[in-house]
Structure 1
Amino acid sequence: MKLILTQEVSGLGTPGDVVEVKDGYGRNFLVPRGLATSWSKGGEKQVSAIRKARKTREIATLEEANSVKAKLESKPVRLAVRAGASGRLFGAITPSDVAAAIVEAQGPQVDRRKVEIPSAIKTTGEHIARVRLHPDVQAKVTLKVVAEG
């Protein structure tokens, strides 16, 4: 099955890529979640529009990505969340929470889809999250999760 990716899919491609996947994966996972649309000859216009929009949002150069990486790694990001007496959170920290906390901490605007949390954060303390800034540059952000109040 030939599809056009509309969002980044780890291990598969970036928005605007035309990929060949197994029928079940495309029909049952990618298309229903809005990660891809079916490919057609008229879809090539859509591919070019997606690529153009991605270029305007992306960090263009390696030097710029390295400067943003230095900003992100220079200081830890503090997240105040609801937690029980034992330090266990009511819920978990999401990539959206991390992106919002980075902006709150006077950091650069980061797309939530570029934030990767290796394992679920469900306790207070220090944790690490990765932010993909460029295909060659990833920043490791230190998160200090503290209880509210």
Structure 2
Amino acid sequence: MEVILLERVAKLGQMGEVVRVKDGFARNFLLKRGKALRATDANRAKYDGMKAELEANNIKAKGEAAVVAEKIDGRDIVIIRQASESGQLFGSVTVRDIVVALAADGVTVARPQVWLDSPIKTIGQQKVTIAVHPEVETSVTVTVARSAEEADRIKRGEDISTRQEDQDAAAEAIAAAGEFFDPEAQHDEAEPAPAAEEK
């Protein structure tokens, strides 16, 4: 089916372009959400009549989206999840979890605006793109950790493959070993071991 786009649609085209799409996509998404009109002669004339209004609305929406993007850009959200010692999550972090975390941080975005290739299944940091408008994108850093302390360690770039308690114990052992080691010590000449008696 050929449709006239009423706004920019990612990976499809710009406002005013006539594009060919599958019938189901046109009926269930583009036409249903008011993003396109069927490409008939009557609708082409209708689009020409409302083109200036659509462009003005798009410019206004783009300006509002830029303000929202400025508030979101560079934010670091922390999501606490249970995970194994190797860092594999028991479950995963999805788009819904990111939307909820942003809402708790005072930013409202819709789930379709968050672009996540696949659910996050390990502890660590990941950049996630937020499309607040078809022409305005921003990103946030999602930090997934087992605790707030671990999230702080991840943000500082520390190695989280070992637990903090293990690192502290290793540092204490090195300090204790340093107390017993004297670099100025003189080594005594060891007496030769007695030769074994032969029978």
Tell me what 2:182 maps to: none
**Separation in 1, partners of 2:20, 2:122:** 40
Q: CA deviation at 1:31?
A: 7.4
| Aligned-pair CA distance for 1:119 | 4.8
Q: How does 1:74-85 map to 2 (within 5 A)?
A: 74-85=74-85
Give structure 2 stretches of 5+ with no counterpart: 32-37, 44-53, 149-199
- Aligned pairs for 1:120-139 (under 5 A) are 120-139=119-138
Mapped contact 1:77–1:141 kept (Cα < 8 A): yes
**Number of corresponding residues:** 132
Instruction: Flag as ranges the 4+ runs of structure 1 deviating above 6 A.
Output: none
Structure 2 counterpart SS, 1:82: coil
Taking the aligned partners of 2:131 and 2:10, their CA distance within structure 1 comes to: 12
Q: TM-score, normalised by structure 1?
A: 0.61
More helix by share: 2
Aligned partners of 1:2 and 1:20 also within 8 Å: yes
1:97 paired with 2:91, answer: no
Aligned to 2:146: 147
Partner of 2:25: 30
Deviation per residue, 1:20-39 (Å, 9 max, x gap):
22xxxx36x7379x4356x5
Instruction: Give the CA RMSD over aligned residues.
Output: 4.1
Cα distance, 1:145 vs structure 2: 0.9
For the pair shown, which has the larger CA radius of gyration, 1 or 2?
2
Identity of aligned residues (%): 30
State the TM-score, normalizing by the size of structure 2. 0.48
Contact 1:126 1:144 in 2 (8 A): yes
Q: Quote the residue 1:71 is aligned against.
A: 71
Tell me which amino acid in the other structure corresponds to 1:129: V
Answer whether contact 1:76 1:141 (CA < 8 A) is retained. Answer: yes
What secondary structure is seen at the aligned counterpart in 1 of 2:84?
Answer: coil
Cα separation, 2, equivalents of 1:118 and 1:83:
21
Q: Is the 8 A contact 1:9 1:35 kept in 2?
A: no
- Report deviation, 1:92: 2.8
Distance 1:83 1:67 in 2: 36
Aligned-pair CA distance for 1:67? 2.7
- CA positional deviation for 1:105: 1.7
Tell me the alpha carbon deviations over residues 74-121 of structure 1, each in whole angstroms, 9 at most, x when there is no partner: 431111223222211233322222111100122x21011011124542
Q: Distance in 2 between matches of 1:135 and 1:147?
A: 35
Q: Looking at secondary structure, tell me which structure has more strand per residue.
A: 1
